[in-house]
Amino acid sequence: FSATAAAGDEKMCIDEIQALLKNKRYFIIVDDIWNTKSWEIIRSALTDCSFGSIKITTTRIYDIAQKAGDVYKL
């Protein structure tokens, strides 16, 4: 894949996820995020968190946890 094709595939996946979740209530767990870029892509796909939807993320990396939202430190 070229960088352009990969970016196009990424955008297509984000659009499909957004269309699937639009006007729906959902509960999503994203487990073990290892880098900020991955979290940014996932977050962009889950922008509309209406209807009482819930997103939970886990990571071992404190900086990523801070970017994801509220941090619960064990």
Contacts of 51 (CB under 8 A, 6+ apart): 23, 24, 25
**Where residue 2 falls among pLDDT bands split at 50, 70, 90?**
very low
Q: pTM above 0.85?
A: no
The predicted pLDDT at position 1 comes to 42
SS3 at position 27: strand
> Tens digits of per-residue pLDDT, 27-56?
999 999 999 888 888 888 987 666 888 888
Residue 12 gets the label, from left (phi > 0), alpha (psi -120 to 50) or beta, of alpha
Token pair, residue 36, equals 């900020």
In the chain, where are the structural domains located?
A: 3-68
Token pair, residue 25, equals 């209530």
